[in-house]
Amino acid sequence: MSTGRKRAASSSKEDRPGIKRAVKWTRQFSHAGPRFQPDYKPISGTKPLFRYAGKPLLLERNTEEVAVMYARYLCGKRRTRDIEKTLQQNFFEDWQKYMSSKEKQQIKKFELCDFSGLVKKLQEDKAKPLTKQERAAQKKKREDMMNQYKTVIVDGRRELISNFTVEPPGLYMGRGKNDNIGRVKPRIKPKDITINCDDRHIPKAPGNSKWGAIVHDKSVMWLASWYDPITKGPKYIQLHPSSKIKNDIEEEKFQTVRKLHRKILEVRKHYEKDLKSKKNETEGEYATRQIATAVYLIDNFALRVGNEKPEGATDTVGCCSLRVEHLSLLASKNIRLNFLGKDSIRYEKGHQVSNAVYDNLQDFTRDFDGKKKTKKQLLFDSIKTKHVNDYLYNLMKGQGLTAKVFRTFRATQHFEEKLEEYSKFHELKATKSTPEDDKMKMIVFKKANLAVAQLLNHQTLSKPTTKGKAIKVNEKRIKDAQYKLNNLSKGTDEHRKTTAQLVVLKHELDLKVEQRTYALGTSKTNYIDPQVSAKWCKKYKVDITKVYSKVQLGKFRWALRS
C-alpha cells in the first residue's frame, strides 16, 4: 500500500544542544557514607522452627534469613489472592539460590513448606515488652547513629541526609500487581556501593571492606548509589528535601513552570501546527507529527511521557510507549486509553480530542508505509522520550522545558483553577472566622488537591473494600447533628450553628468517600507550586502549617520566604 510518503535517506532528528549539568557543590562534599543493615541473627537457635513435609528442619543461616523474610510477609497485612501465586513462585525460585546443596535436595516443593513456627516466633518477639534498660540502650544507639550518619557538609554548610541507611534485604513487593513481587532483595554490601564525595574527604568503608567505586561528581547531589537487580535501576542516598541544593532545584523547577505559563499559547500554537499531516510526508515530518501528537496528549491529559524500560522490568507504559492495544478510537472524536501506568496503576479514561489528533492516532495504528500494526506494536513507533523532550526544549529556547515540567504545569494550573472555583462556590471568607468556616477552607483545599490527584491518576495501590473507620465516624456525627437539629427551634443561634456544622460534616463525608481511592500527597509535594498554596492561605487567613507538614515546609522554604 502506497502512502505517498518519502523515506528519508538518513534521520532528520537532531540532538538537543549539549547542556553542561549544573554544579551542585564546588569544594566540599563530606559525609560518613551509608549505614548498612546489621547482620542477620538466627531466631531458631537449636530448635527448628521450620517444617518441611511435616518434619522439623533446622535451616542454615542464609536459608533461614530468607525464610524469615517470607514469614514477615505472612505476618503483615498486604495479602491478596491475586498476588499470592506469583509471589510464592518468585520467592521459592530465589530462596533456592540461598540454600546449600543439601537443602536443595531436601526442600523441593513450596507447598510442603511450613513457616508457621517462624511466624509464631516473630509475633512473640514483637509482643514481648522491652525493659527500661533495653529502651534506653535502643535510644542511645539511635542517637549515636544519627550523629554519625545524618549530615553531610556541602561547601561548609551542614545539611541533613534524607535516607542514610541502605535498604534492608527482604521480599520485593513493589507497587500494584507486578511480575517481580516476592523476589528476594539481596543484602547490600560496601562492594555494591558507589560513593560520591570530594577528593579530600573519602569515607572509610566498614571493617576491612572496600567501596565498589568512588567518584567526585559535582553535578549530582547523591552521596551513594547501588544497582537494584530487581528493578534494574540505580538506588540512591540523597540529600534531605530541606537542603539548600534541593530547595534551589525545586525553585528552579517551578520557575520553569511559570515561564511555560507565560508562553503556553505560543507553545500550543507551535505544536498544533505540527499536528497537521503533509502531502508526500517525509520520515522526519512523520516523526514530528508523532511528537506533536504526544505533546498534545501530555498537555491536555497530563500523561507521563513514558521512559524506555530495561529488559525484564515491569510492563508499565506512558505516552511515548503506548501500544496500539492501549487505544480505542470511538465516535465523535472520542478516544479511550487503557494501560498500566507507573507503579502498575491502571489508567483507564475517555477523552475527546481535536480532529487533527484523532486523525493522527488513527493514522499511527499503521506504520510509515501504511501497513496495519499489530496490537503489540508502538503507537508512536518513530519517536522516543528523548525526541519529545528535545522538541519541548527547543520550543522554549533552552529554558528547561521537558515533558515532566509540562505535567507539573498542568497540575499547578488545574489546582489554581479548582481552588478559585471551590472558594467561590463555598463563599469562603477572607477573614478569621468560625470553626466551621475554617473547616470549610480545609475542605476546599483538599478538594482542589484531590482534583489534581485525579488528573494525574494518583490512585492508591489497594482499593478499600469497606467504608473505613473515618467514614463510619463521620456518618454517625451527621446522624447525631441531624437529630440535634430536628429538636432545635428555627432562628436560634444554636440552630444556625448546628446547621453550619451539618453542612461541613456532609462535605467532609463526600470528600472522604471520593478521595479514598486517591493518594493526595504526591501531587501536593511534587506537582503543585507551593507559591499558589501560600498565596491562597494568605488570602483566606489559613495557617500554612494546616496544609503542609514539617518536612514539606522545609522543602518549600524558598516559596514561603515572603
Residue 138, pLDDT score: 93
**pLDDT for 320:** 96
Q: What angle do CA 490, 495, 497 make, to 5 degrees?
A: 150
pLDDT of residue 277: 81
Q: How many helices and strands, by DSSP H and E, does the chain display?
A: 16, 15
Q: What is the pLDDT of residue 16?
A: 41
**Each residue's pLDDT tens digit, 529-555:** 999 999 999 999 999 999 999 999 999
pLDDT for position 6: 46
- Of the candidates 98, 518, 527, 548, the residue annotated as catalytic is 527
The pLDDT of residue 83? 80
Q: Judge contact between 397 and 260, C-beta under 8 A.
A: no
CB atoms under 10 Å from CB of 16, counted, come to: 14
pLDDT at 333 exceeding the cut of 50: yes
Which long-range CB contacts under 8 A does 101-110 form with residues at least 24 apart?
103/59, 103/60, 103/63, 106/52, 106/57, 107/52, 107/57
Question: Residue 447's pLDDT is what?
Answer: 98
Q: What is the pLDDT of residue 18?
A: 40
In three-state form (DSSP H/G/I as H, E/B as E, the rest C), the secondary structure along 476-503 is HHHHHHHHHHHCCCCCCHHHHHHHHHHH
The owner of cell 500527597 is: 521
Does residue 73 carry a pLDDT above 70? yes
Cα 46 to Cα 42, 50, 113: the distances in Å are 10, 12, 19
Whether the pLDDT of residue 12 is over 80: the answer is: no
**Any idea of the CA torsion for 120, 126, 128, 134, to the nearest 10 degrees?**
140
**pLDDT tens digits, 162-203:** 999 999 999 998 876 678 999 999 999 999 999 999 999 999
The mean per-residue pLDDT over the stretch 487-515 comes to 91
Checking if the pLDDT of 76 tops 80, the result is yes
Host H or E run for residue 214: strand 213-215
User: Per-residue confidence at 78, pLDDT binned at 50, 70, 90?
Assistant: low
Q: Is 296 a catalytic residue?
A: no
Q: What would the grid cell of residue 85 be? A: 501465586
Phi (first) and psi of residue 225, to 5 degrees? -145, 160
The dihedrals phi and psi of 158, each to the nearest 5 degrees, come to: -90, 120
Question: Over the stretch 452-481, which tens digit does the pLDDT of each residue have?
Answer: 999 999 998 766 666 688 899 999 999 999
Helix, strand, coil % in the chain, rounded to nearest 5: 45, 10, 40
For the chain, list the domains and their CATH numbers. 29-36+132-238 (2.170.11.10), 50-127 (1.10.10.41), 275-395 (3.90.15.10), 411-559 (1.10.132.10)
Residue with cell 520467592: 91
